Homo-oligomer: A and B are copies of this chain.
Amino acid sequence: MSSESKITEYFAAAQQLDPVRFPIGIGDDMAQICTEDIKSVLVTTDMLLDGTHFDLSGGDRLELVGYKSMAASLSDCAAMASIPVAAVVSVALPAGFGEDKLKRLHAGILDAASRYNCPLIGGDITGWKSSDDRLAVSVTMFSKLPLGAEPIKRSTAQPGDRIYVTGSLGGSIRGRHLEFTPRIEEALRLRGLAKITAMMDISDGLSTDLNHICRLSGVGAVVYAEKIPVSSLPDVDLSSALNDGEDFELLFTVAAKDSGGLESGWKMPAKITCIGEVTDKKDVMIEFPDGRIEPLRAGGYDHLNKE
């Protein structure tokens, strides 16, 4: 379990949330608020940092930084198969950042807002005291469920379910991470074709995020190495596809009986690939074409690759 997962579970345990008002709290892609006045709103918050999630000194364009900041939250909306409604954005600007650069960042935010029909409705502009401090962008986004639908959680995968991913994996950090397409349409299409038992977006890498779904669902999994859709980007191998972060593809599980209908009914440009199965064990394993079966640890595929 990663240290972030551990601390998240500590935070989740520190407070008893009313399950009627907050059916989904800390630990999923989005939280859910349900009150008489609010009925139902899903919410996600993400902070993106210069040097960690983008690199201004390396030449990343501010328009793309703005776009990515929104797209990361839009990807969370997709992970719940929900419909984006609006966003608020707060920014921490290095001293002397200047209005022109802020407007370029804003233009990227609005680009994503308009492409995905998720307007920017508020925000906060704050400034660091020093020009050595770095840009931080925090996006909080709200979404709604399709009429009568329930959110799709991480914690509800069942033994026997098939495990799928959208698109292809690995190498995102070499550019795609700034311009990826959040899988909102795909997620809503999935709802129409099958009962999706669990879903999340792949932000920390498939190996980490599959472990996450399994731990939260109290299940295990086996994935087949030759089924993993490795990106065709240069220098991407199985290890990258399993461990690189920021793919922002969907990782989801469906009952085995729904698998055929899903695949025959799927007619979207982004492919879906069945990569394995949920098991009733506690371990997440990877099976190689030669029959070897090894544990697939969170972010821990490298050591396998070297054997």
A21 to chain B, nearest CB (A): 8
Q: Is A53 an interface residue (CB 8 A)?
A: yes
Q: Are A38 and B85 also in contact (CB < 8 A) when A49-B92, A121-B43 are?
A: yes
Q: Is A286 an interface residue (CB 8 A)?
A: no
Instruction: Out of B25, B40, B44, B132, name the residue touching A38 (CB < 8 Å).
Output: B40
Inter-chain CA distance A47–B49, complex, in Å, is: 13
A44 to chain B, nearest CB (A): 7
Inter-chain CA distance A189–B99, complex, in Å, is: 40
Do residues B90 and A46 form an inter-chain contact, with CB atoms below 8 A? yes
Do residues A99 and B51 form an inter-chain contact, with CB atoms below 8 A? no
Do residues A22 and B86 form an inter-chain contact, with CB atoms below 8 A? yes
Do residues A91 and B47 form an inter-chain contact, with CB atoms below 8 A? yes
Inter-chain CA distance A92–B3, complex, in Å, is: 15
Do residues A33 and B129 form an inter-chain contact, with CB atoms below 8 A? no
Instruction: Out of B3, B45, B47, B144, name the residue touching A136 (CB < 8 Å).
Output: B47
Do residues B92 and A15 form an inter-chain contact, with CB atoms below 8 A? no
Interface string of A44-75 (1 = CB under 8 A from B): 11111101110000000000000000000000
Copies of this chain present in the complex amount to 2
Do residues B52 and A14 form an inter-chain contact, with CB atoms below 8 A? no
Do residues B85 and A35 form an inter-chain contact, with CB atoms below 8 A? yes
Q: Main secondary structure on chain A at its contact with chain B? A: mixed
Name the residue of chain B whose CB is nearest to the CB of A55: B129
Q: Are A126 and B49 also in contact (CB < 8 A) when A15-B110, A99-B7, A134-B133 are?
A: yes
Do residues B38 and A126 form an inter-chain contact, with CB atoms below 8 A? no
Name the residue of chain B whose CB is nearest to the CB of A37: B144
A109 to chain B, nearest CB (A): 9
- Chain A interface size band reads 35 or more
Do residues A121 and B45 form an inter-chain contact, with CB atoms below 8 A? no
Residue of A33, A46, A110 contacting most chain B CB atoms (<10 Å): A33
Interface residues of A in 114-160 (CB under 8 A from B): 119-130, 132-134, 136, 138, 140, 142, 144-145
Would you give 11 A-B contacts (Cβ < 8 Å), ordered by A?
A: A7-B99, A14-B110, A25-B121, A26-B120, A33-B142, A37-B40, A38-B85, A45-B138, A46-B124, A52-B128, A90-B140
A residues whose Cβ falls under 8 Å from a Cβ of B: 3-4, 7-8, 10-11, 14-15, 17-18, 21-22, 25-26, 30-31, 33, 35, 37-41, 43-49, 51-53, 85-86, 88-92, 99, 102-103, 106, 110, 113, 119-130, 132-134, 136, 138, 140, 142, 144-145
Q: A7-B102, A15-B119, A22-B121 are in contact. List 13 more A-B contacts (CB 8 A).
A: A3-B99, A7-B99, A7-B103, A25-B122, A26-B121, A41-B142, A43-B88, A47-B92, A53-B126, A92-B136, A128-B134, A136-B138, A138-B138
| Interchain residue pairs A-B with the least CB separation, the first 8 | A138-B138, A31-B122, A140-B140, A47-B90, A31-B121, A37-B144, A45-B88, A51-B129
